[in-house]
A and B are shown apart, each in its own frame.
Chain A
Amino acid sequence: VEAVLAAAEEQEAEKRRSITVEKELELEYDLGNLLAVDRNPPPAAALRGAGPRREALLRALARDNTQLLVSRLWELPAERAGGAGGPLVAQLPEPTFRLPREKPPPKPRPPTRWEQFARLKGIRRKKKTSVAWDEQAKEWRRRWGYRRAGGDPSRAWLAEVPAGADPEEDQFARLRREKRERVARNELNRLRNLARAHRAGSAVPAAPLHPTGHQDRDELRRVARVARVSTASLGRFQPRLPKESAEPPSRSGGKKRRFEPLLGNLAAERSRQLELLRDMGSKKPVLDITRAVNKQLRQEEAEAAAANKGKKQSKRGKRGRRQQRPGRSGKKSGARRQPQQQKPAGGGTGG
């Protein structure tokens, strides 16, 4: 048996001799890019010589390296594309050699006003089906568009006069006008969102104010602030509007903390300490439970909505509601626990 195995091995070796290549250092391969890097120093002395000999040497070197690369490529998992008779196709791995990008990676667009509000409140998207049941036609029709479920709104022949409206008013005209207004408002908001996203993306610096007609609230506020601070006393003695804040606008935009001086206002310090002692000693809880609970619930909903944003809304209906219930009651007891915790601590330090 061993003789047979040895003979078989020798035969294999013979066959493979034609495709084996001896190299000092192994090549490095990046098959995703069809790349091979040979670290062996090439025979410099031989290559310095003239024309044809150099070409022959380069060619031999290239042949060896190509043989190694092709052997590696042929070892990749291959299959016949397009049925049995098709060409042999190998699956290339991902390229490993890191090359610089052409352009910087795209920045995600900032959320629109509605998206911010929805995230804050924890409102999630309701998935609507593409067809709706039409009672009149007794069939499934598309939700909007040609032959929609509710019938063509432009051919509505009846418009009820609402309870408090003027009987002389043309209801059809009113409906048409309101639709036009809605469309216009929608379009305006869409353009505003686009402009906001564009501004956020390109980081437009404090440009001078637009001529009237194109000013928006943030721009006006920014420009007014800059104008206020551009006086010799940096805006400290400027006359103020009735509802404006008293202190001058801080240059850091409210990010840095401000501390009162240590030995300044003795009266204020005394009143502050007395108030603190009063609150600690009183029986009434300082924390407003309902407000705390509501805040906590809202925060929870927002977190849950953010967590499920990418996932499919598979847990709706009974299961979703069942999941939310224990959470709600749990947090309520949690919120109630807080004032109880405060009291013993207050009693400890107060006593």
Chain B
Amino acid sequence: MDALDRVVKPKTKRAKRFLEKREPKLNENTKNAMLIKGGNANLTVTEVLKDIYAVKKPFAVLYKRKNITRPFEDQTSLEFFSKKSDCSLFLFGSHNKKRPNNLIIGRMFDYHVLDMIELGVEKFVSLKDIKNSKCPEGTKPMLIFAGDVFDVNEEYRRLKSLLIDFFRGPTVPSIRLAGLEYVLHFTAVDGKIYMRSYKVLLKKSGCKIPRIELEEMGPSLDLVMRRTHLASDDLYKLSLKQPKGLKPKKKKNISHDVFGTTYGRIHMQKQDLSKLQTRKMKGLKKRPAEKSAEDGGATPKKSKSA
């Protein structure tokens, strides 16, 4: 869109900060997701979008109005939305006779569509239907993928990568162990993908590591894969490329050996050995045995047995 391509020069500090937040960076921001309703979205699909929004808060935007677009035919409106709201993940819900309860999950690279996968919702249990206590908003979920299909099939592999990207949440350096409350479990069996969310209860076990009990909570979906629009291999590789600055800097003078021992290297200047302070070195002091040997060969002291 022309309006968004024009370079805007900021006139206030606030505008400048806003633009700086959106420009490409070495360490990127957490990806935002936009949840869009299609032209004819029914109740199920709307509920799904609302639930996923609740899971992904605050890194998601839910568009309440219906948008009459077809992502698989025309991607410009999606790209426009993504540029406007700076979201690189999207979830588009629609419903028609040919594809009932349709969800299109996708991600963007540089505000252009990278991957899009269409999933059909066969069964949906919402957050409201399961009456128990929920975990707090914004908890980083644990993600578990079960099923060998996720590695064998190329489309399923991309779907796995997409789901991880979608539900990952912010990258944190450390995590509170008692706060691991939410787990999303994806099982791929028989051409269907079962997504279940559980609340984790940590029970006492004999040792330090607690025993896990799960309580069903939150949205559970039975999905079936329909169409896909995956990026070409080289575009995908280009998007995976990380800049050089992110590589961990090698610390000089530190080396590790096979057994895990860390060796350090210290570079000393040349020491004048004649000026060394030997009076303060306990190791050089004459031990009583040596003293007596010097004096005249008395019996050495008995050493204690272990």
On A, residues with C-beta under 8 Å from B are: 12, 14-16, 18-19, 32-42, 44, 47-48, 55, 58-59, 61-63, 65-67, 69-71, 73-75, 78, 81, 87-92, 94-95, 97-106, 198
Judge whether B176 and A62 touch: CB under 8 Å.
Answer: no
> Is B291 among interface residues, defined by CB-CB distance under 8 A?
no
**B142 in contact (CB, < 8 A):** yes
Give 19 A-B contacts (CB < 8 Å), ordered by A residue: A32-B171, A34-B141, A37-B144, A38-B145, A39-B148, A39-B151, A59-B198, A63-B213, A65-B146, A66-B183, A66-B185, A74-B210, A81-B176, A89-B176, A99-B240, A102-B28, A103-B88, A103-B111, A106-B243
A59 to B211, CA, bound (A): 15
Q: B-side interface residues toward A, CB under 8 Å?
A: 7, 23-26, 28-29, 31, 88, 107-111, 114, 140-148, 150-151, 160-161, 164-165, 168, 171-180, 183, 185, 187-190, 194, 196, 198, 200, 202, 205-214, 216, 236, 238-243, 248
Which of these, B148, B176, B187, contacts A58 with CB under 8 Å?
B187
Q: Which of B146, B176, B188 has the most CB of A within 10 A?
A: B146
- The answer to whether B174 touches A89 (Cβ under 8 A) is yes
Are A62 and B144 CB-contacts (below 8 A) given A18-B211, A102-B28?
A: yes
- Per the bound structure, the CA–CA distance linking A15 and B205 in Å amounts to 7
Residue contact A100 to B107, C-beta cutoff 8 Å = yes
Q: Report the minimal beta-carbon distance from A5 to chain B, rounded to whole angstroms.
A: 18
Give every chain B residue within 8 A of A12 (Cβ-Cβ).
207
- Do residues A48 and B214 form an inter-chain contact, with CB atoms below 8 A? no
CB neighbours (8 Å) of A100 from chain B are 107, 109, 114, 161, 165, 236, 239-240
Interface pair B175/A37, CB less than 8 Å apart: no
Cross-chain contact of B177 among A37, A41, A90 (Cβ < 8 A): A90
A residues in contact with B185, CB < 8 Å: 58, 61-62, 65-66
A106/B25 contact (C-beta < 8 A), A19-B205, A38-B146, A66-B200 known: yes
| Inter-subunit contact B242/A101 (CB<8 Å) | yes
Contact check, B28 vs A15: say whether CB atoms are below 8 A apart. Answer: no
Among residues of A, the one whose C-beta sits closest to the C-beta of B88 is A102
**Smallest beta-carbon distance B262→chain A, Å:** 15
B188 cross-chain contacts in A, Cβ below 8 A: 42
Please give me the residue from chain B that is nearest to A202 by CB atom. B7
Given A69-B144, A70-B210: A33 and B168 interface contact (C-beta under 8 Å)? yes
- The reply to whether B110 and A104 form a contact with Cβ atoms under 8 Å apart is yes
Known interface pairs A37-B145, A38-B144, A101-B242; A78-B211 also in contact (CB < 8 Å): no
Asked if B241 and A105 sit within 8 Å, CB to CB, the answer is yes
Is the CB–CB distance between B173 and A92 below 8 Å? yes
Given A14-B206, A41-B148, A62-B196, decide whether A88 and B177 contact each other with a Cβ distance below 8 A.
yes
CB neighbours of A71 from chain B (8 A): 209
Measured between alpha carbons, how far is A344 from B115 in the docked complex, in Å? 68
Known contacts A103-B28, A103-B110, then 14 further A-B pairs from the complex at CB < 8 Å, ordered by chain A residue:
A35-B145, A37-B145, A40-B148, A41-B148, A61-B185, A65-B144, A66-B144, A70-B142, A70-B200, A97-B161, A102-B88, A103-B88, A105-B26, A105-B243
